[in-house]
Structure 1
């Protein structure tokens, strides 16, 4: 517990009790579910599903990272090679094998159960991310129990569950949601070892070090040594503050380290025997270390970016976190607050200093913020200063999203996404209530209103708006056009538009080439199609004329390549033979 938070007196609510306030009813739900751990866990799992399921099945593959991960997994399933990691013929050694194994297990299971075309259903590849996100919510609850009451732990988990960044990562078939799960498990177990030492309590049972070391092994298989960054920075900071690391022995490292090696070494040995030191040079040197000194893939940014993004990515918890900050800082030498700040601040500074920046890099730090915020909320020590004006942000985000969604939908589809409006309207009303009813004594109810606002916003954006923006996903329309042809086993070559989602949707053997290469490909046999983006059509036509290729336009796909930020037009050409 963060024991020495003050318990100041507070005034009676100024807001009349008869004013409409859904948060009051939601608080009654929290009263019920916090009656037992079983109910709390079941409630959080259900809420996690409610937040993640909108759009989970019908948002098409997202370029570029998600489609790359999914395609590499798809090739594992196709080839039966679960050691090597490839995107078409190129090795993909930026990350270890963990997420590919998890995705492949889901796809193989679905295929065994008879799901047709399982290998091109992107939602199957997202299942590990959904499981990781829900698991992260439950582990936030478990970790928070070391610091706050059961009610505070549920609130911390709800803050985490409703955060925009977790909602995004839960719907993407890549590593970050599962990495979050392993980091929270690691830090929650380490917290129990540290706090039991600080409070002069008995050594935690064997389950705590078992969770700690197993989670480290899982994190290494997912994203290499990155998980060790959080562990070492936290432990190092605590060592400086306490002038001792004696508490680490409570994690039984003499047994834990061999267990980690037993879990991770088999695949690392296998990939070394397959590719030599190429994997290690590509993943550690070419991917991880290069991000420190330069902005990879145009993702460089100055320090302070994560703090600026925090107000969006951690919404709706961000305003309350700001109000909690003064009280958290005052309690910084208390064991609980000290541990959570050691988890949060050193790693945050490191990420701000690293040149390459992507929003999800700081996601493993958000549980610490959620728990600190819940602790301040539980003890009613939230700031009464100008920081309370940040409560307006609960209303501002739905209003901004409504504007952006309507403008974007009209621009891309000429339709204003009317179906999403009722959900956004409810989200705005709940956000307005969270803001206007906010007081220190009603902070919990305002937070619950804000969480409900986030849920309706999630339904509107992920469940309705994004799936309706079909021009953003031209690969889906191209693949549909190829499936509608009458020949058996169509083959394709792509020129100009070559996003990973196209390979995932149209087949591993899709040839990525230029306009001339697409014409040559079309000449080589029947049931072949050239997918030629308008910028390369001239080169395609010139080469076709030179080799005597006759062709026609099967269809033309208009869309928008958001990876490159420009409109595209892709013609699907089919050969008519030669002159």
Structure 2
């Protein structure tokens, strides 16, 4: 076999001499894509769109976080108030304003381009997440170029692009995909500065580009999700300073000018919200949200080790290779590149495992470091040949399990076997099987590329075909459709027993969330009023209606499943007498 790389140290990238496995079609595609930076970027853009777009436009609003973010943004657009953050009449101060500004810009742009009812299309609010996810993939490529060859950088970006966790976050209108973009940009810029110092490059003509990227990314990250981005940078710096017994390279980041630039970018809104709400924002975001995560916030508590267990799913299809790369990465831990990437990864991972509140997306900003370390081991052909190599079976196991779950879920919820998904299921299983059967240390790249195609087919199945068809999981869509079909003008609505944010987003900000008794009082206040009464609240509604002499009519009933609460629901639509 022709030797492909000269096995560079992490942080000393070299270009490949000859292509790997020239007879393999997928590998030939990579050969062509890595011929230049422009080709590599174009190739990654196409792959990102193929992997991230299935289901992007068709999956309904997802409760609860996505719908809350989207509704708060919708209220900003409706009121023209881009300082305060509210969900109906309640303040929403858990996160800063950055994501709401980005989503508002997306809504205004879509409206200006003539998209009808742009404010009610959830995919418009998801656009910042999609752009953030694609940006994170490209920034992973850019960051990796400082550590590995162009070919390995493309592989690292592909692994990141195909990861299950990024695929989920790219399709949700919330903060995490955009935060990932800012973290990778900041850590990539800091990594370039650190490696330049390690190599002893002359600082007679300092570069301002990397410090500018670093501090701008820090500022945007703070506006997106508060000071969390500072944790990744600070822990990395502390660990490197301890290992090197020297932190003089930090001056190359221009910290004084950088901090001033951060303050220029973030202070105006913080001053504006303090002027508007006093210390309520800081009390809710720092005390109510950030510090409460040290405990089991909102029943999301879990013991240490959960992220490591979830890693096998959330980082698939890169997880098997990451496990096989781990021994080689640890042996190379004193090399400058590996040292930096491990300093980015390990301290923050330990913090997340130690904190009681655990949600899968918290560790997403650490995945680019894993992807780059894994790609470096692949290009140097130093993957473990021990029992860890048996993990290659995971490339087939996930498509098999995911396909079974998708089909069974479709049958249980819709009584339909999802025949349209079966060809893609077959393709996913075939490519996953090839990735497993063809694996060996010298052809790891070929197996990974087969696994990436399996991931694409699985994304089409789960996101593109099955999830949008599971209408019982999205009862708010059916309720909103029923409300749009009424004949009276300007209908008003109340909901009892079903208070999901998606309902407010789809039926209007003025939708009243109440109980059965309150819904009866609401209907009594005029015509063209509708009450959505969940079955458990019907008794109190009827009792109150009889007590006040309310005349009403019963409309359709919507059966579904509230996955936020994990139970089946049945919602009846009541109309005040006189509405049509």
TM range (shorter): over 0.9
User: What is the match of residue 222 of structure 1?
Assistant: 224
2:448 and 2:41 map into 1 onto residues whose CA distance is 19
1:80 and 1:221 map into 2 onto residues whose CA distance is 19
1:474 and 1:225 map into 2 onto residues whose CA distance is 36
Q: Report the 3-state secondary structure (helix = DSSP H, G, I; strand = E; otherwise coil) of the residue aligned with 1:568.
A: strand
1:495 and 1:411 map into 2 onto residues whose CA distance is 27
- Matches for 1:125-140 after TM superposition, within 5 Å: 125-140=125-140
2:283 and 2:7 map into 1 onto residues whose CA distance is 44
| 1:492-530 Cα distance to aligned partner (Å, 9 max, x none) | 000001100000000000000000000000010111000
- Matches for 1:9-408 after TM superposition, within 5 Å: 24-203=24-203, 205-292=207-294, 294-408=295-409
Q: Report the 3-state secondary structure (helix = DSSP H, G, I; strand = E; otherwise coil) of the residue aligned with 1:531.
A: strand
| 1:362-412 Cα distance to aligned partner (Å, 9 max, x none) | 000000000000000000000011100000000000000111111111111
| 1:212-261 Cα distance to aligned partner (Å, 9 max, x none) | 00000000000000000000000000000001110111111121110000
Q: Report the 3-state secondary structure (helix = DSSP H, G, I; strand = E; otherwise coil) of the residue aligned with 1:116.
A: coil
- Matches for 1:413-432 after TM superposition, within 5 Å: 413-432=414-433
Q: Report the CA distance between 1:577 and its aligned residue.
A: 5.7
2:458 corresponds to 1:435:
no
Whether the 8 Å contact between 2:7 and 2:380 is mirrored in structure 1 is no
2:454 and 2:530 map into 1 onto residues whose CA distance is 47
| 1:61-94 Cα distance to aligned partner (Å, 9 max, x none) | 0000000000000000000000000000000000
TM, length-normalised to structure 2: 0.96
- Structure 1 alignment gaps of length 5 or more: 6-16
Q: Report the 3-state secondary structure (helix = DSSP H, G, I; strand = E; otherwise coil) of the residue aligned with 1:549.
A: coil
User: What is the match of residue 568 of structure 1?
Assistant: 569
1:544 and 1:403 map into 2 onto residues whose CA distance is 47
Q: Report the 3-state secondary structure (helix = DSSP H, G, I; strand = E; otherwise coil) of the residue aligned with 2:24.
A: helix
- Structure 2 alignment gaps of length 5 or more: 1-5, 11-20
2:64 and 2:192 map into 1 onto residues whose CA distance is 39
Q: Report the CA distance between 1:116 and its aligned residue.
A: 1.1
User: What is the match of residue 469 of structure 2?
Assistant: 468
2:33 and 2:393 map into 1 onto residues whose CA distance is 29
Whether the 8 Å contact between 1:554 and 1:574 is mirrored in structure 2 is yes
Q: Report the 3-state secondary structure (helix = DSSP H, G, I; strand = E; otherwise coil) of the residue aligned with 2:369.
A: helix
2:7 and 2:577 map into 1 onto residues whose CA distance is 75
Q: Report the CA distance between 1:553 and its aligned residue.
A: 1.5
Whether the 8 Å contact between 2:317 and 2:395 is mirrored in structure 1 is yes
User: What is the match of residue 14 of structure 1?
Assistant: none
2:112 and 2:538 map into 1 onto residues whose CA distance is 42
2:227 and 2:462 map into 1 onto residues whose CA distance is 35
Whether the 8 Å contact between 1:73 and 1:100 is mirrored in structure 2 is yes
Whether the 8 Å contact between 1:549 and 1:577 is mirrored in structure 2 is no
| 1:182-230 Cα distance to aligned partner (Å, 9 max, x none) | 0000000000110000010134621111100000000000000000000
| 1:538-578 Cα distance to aligned partner (Å, 9 max, x none) | 10001111111111122111110000011111111001169
Q: Report the CA distance between 1:135 and its aligned residue.
A: 0.2
Q: Report the CA distance between 1:424 and its aligned residue.
A: 1.2
Whether the 8 Å contact between 1:129 and 1:170 is mirrored in structure 2 is yes
Deviates more, 1:244-253 or 1:210-219: 244-253
Whether the 8 Å contact between 1:497 and 1:532 is mirrored in structure 2 is yes
| 1:39-80 Cα distance to aligned partner (Å, 9 max, x none) | 101110111111111000000000000000000000000000
1:69 and 1:435 map into 2 onto residues whose CA distance is 40
User: What is the match of residue 511 of structure 2?
Assistant: 510
User: What is the match of residue 535 of structure 1?
Assistant: 536
Whether the 8 Å contact between 1:106 and 1:125 is mirrored in structure 2 is yes
Q: Report the CA distance between 1:4 and its aligned residue.
A: 4.2
Whether the 8 Å contact between 1:2 and 1:336 is mirrored in structure 2 is no
Whether the 8 Å contact between 2:129 and 2:175 is mirrored in structure 1 is yes
Q: Report the CA distance between 1:331 and its aligned residue.
A: 0.4
Whether the 8 Å contact between 1:523 and 1:577 is mirrored in structure 2 is no
Q: Report the 3-state secondary structure (helix = DSSP H, G, I; strand = E; otherwise coil) of the residue aligned with 1:532.
A: strand
Q: Report the CA distance between 1:3 and its aligned residue.
A: 4.0
User: What is the match of residue 457 of structure 1?
Assistant: 458
Q: Report the 3-state secondary structure (helix = DSSP H, G, I; strand = E; otherwise coil) of the residue aligned with 1:489.
A: coil
| 1:453-498 Cα distance to aligned partner (Å, 9 max, x none) | 0001001100000001000000000000000000111110000011
The two structures, once aligned, show a CA RMSD in angstroms of: 1.3
| 1:408-467 Cα distance to aligned partner (Å, 9 max, x none) | 111111111111111011011000000000011110000000011000100110000000
User: What is the match of residue 13 of structure 1?
Assistant: none
2:478 and 2:578 map into 1 onto residues whose CA distance is 26
2:442 and 2:375 map into 1 onto residues whose CA distance is 14
Q: 1:47 to 1:4 in 2, by over 3 A?
A: closer
Q: Report the 3-state secondary structure (helix = DSSP H, G, I; strand = E; otherwise coil) of the residue aligned with 1:115.
A: coil
| 1:154-196 Cα distance to aligned partner (Å, 9 max, x none) | 0000000000000000000000000000000000000011000
Whether the 8 Å contact between 1:2 and 1:334 is mirrored in structure 2 is no
